């Protein structure tokens, strides 16, 4: 029903019209391939007893995967994706608990090798 002013009455159903959501919040996320690679590493470290908890933050300018030894502590490592740095130093970085950038680069696999010691082998 329409009122005398032509507006739809708020108590009446919309009659098949769909509500349009507000403009989406632009945020940076990890895609499926990136998350799979990160979670594979996380699973190996949990099985080894080194890591116990994680947190994922999707912010406006970056996506952050934080790894904890205990959930009450500061993160051991933060794996960050910052697309605005993609053409310069690389979009991916691994940051230690002290804030030191352990490795930064354009490819996630190469950046994660800095903390993935299980893939390193000793050669004679």
Domain ranges for the chain, please list them: 32-117
CA dist 113 and 104 (Å) reads 11
The predicted structure's pLDDT at residue 17: 53
Through-space distance between the first and last CA atoms of the chain, rounded to whole angstroms: 83
Contact (Cβ atoms closer than 8 angstroms) between residue 9 and residue 1: yes
> Tokens at residue 22, please?
């507000």
The predicted structure's pLDDT at residue 123: 60
Q: What is the mean pLDDT of each run of 10 residues along the chain (124 residues)?
A: 52 51 68 93 90 90 90 86 86 91 91 76 58
Contact (Cβ atoms closer than 8 angstroms) between residue 111 and residue 93: yes
- 93 secondary structure, DSSP code: E
């Amino acid at each position: 029903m329409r009122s005398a002013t032509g507006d739809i009455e708020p108590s009446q159903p919309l009659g098949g019209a769909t509500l349009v959501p507000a403009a989406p919040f632009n945020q940076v996320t990890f895609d499926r391939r990136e998350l799979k690679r990160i979670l594979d590493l996380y699973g190996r470290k949990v099985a080894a007893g080194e890591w116990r908890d994680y947190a994922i933050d999707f912010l406006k300018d970056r996506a952050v995967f934080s790894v904890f030894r205990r959930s009450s502590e500061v993160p051991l490592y933060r794996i960050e994706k910052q697309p605005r740095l993609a053409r310069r130093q690389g979009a991916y970085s691994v940051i230690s608990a002290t804030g030191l950038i352990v490795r930064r680069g354009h490819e996630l696999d190469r950046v994660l090798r800095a903390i993935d010691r299980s893939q390193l082998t000793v050669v004679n």
